[in-house]
Amino acid sequence: MVIKIDEYSDVPIYMQIRNQIVMGISSGELKAGEQLPTVRALALEIGINTMTVSKTYQMLKSEGYIMTDRKNGARVRQQIEKTGIISDENKNELRRIVSEARISGVSKKDLQKLVDEYYAGNV
């Protein structure tokens, strides 16, 4: 899986990586149990500091998306907890995005289509 950093983005690098990995898991590009690159390898590949990647992995770990062990590096968790809940923060963000789209004249249908695509993972 290829991680791409947008250096002009306001989203911190460690968060950009985190988001792409989460989207990779959701789309199936990253399978359960699959090995992630080592901290050093990913840092080298992206051209950033190992601490930054480390921060990403610790975040993903505390969120329950991945597990790390010193022998094998990081792997996608086999069983990610299915709470069935959308966080208040994400609801708020979703509402903001939908609102902005609506004002810009985007139809509800187009929005729904986008959600469909992202949910299916064919992006």
Partner DNA sequence: GTGGTCTAGACCACG
Residue numbers at the binding site for a copy of itself (CB under 8 A) = 7-9, 19, 22-23, 25-27, 62, 65, 67, 69, 77, 80-87, 89-106, 108, 111-112, 114-116, 118-119, 123
CB of 13 or CB of 76, closer to DNA: 13
CB of 50 or CB of 114, closer to DNA: 50
Token code pair at residue 27: 């789309």
SS (HEC) of the chain = CCCCCCCCCCCCHHHHHHHHHHHHHHHCCCCCCCECCCHHHHHHHHCCCHHHHHHHHHHHHHCCCEEEECCCEEEECCCCCCCCCCCHHHHHHHHHHHHHHHHCCCCHHHHHHHHHHHHHCCC
CB of 19 or CB of 35, closer to a copy of itself: 19
C-alpha 52/C-alpha 4 separation (Å) is: 14
50 contact, one of a copy of itself, DNA, none, CB 5-8 Å limit per kind: DNA
Q: Scan residues 28-87 and list those touching DNA (CB under 7 A).
A: 36, 38-41, 48-52, 54-55, 57-58, 61, 68-74
CB of 2 or CB of 8, closer to a copy of itself: 8
Q: Name the minimum Å distance from CB 86 to a copy of itself.
A: 5
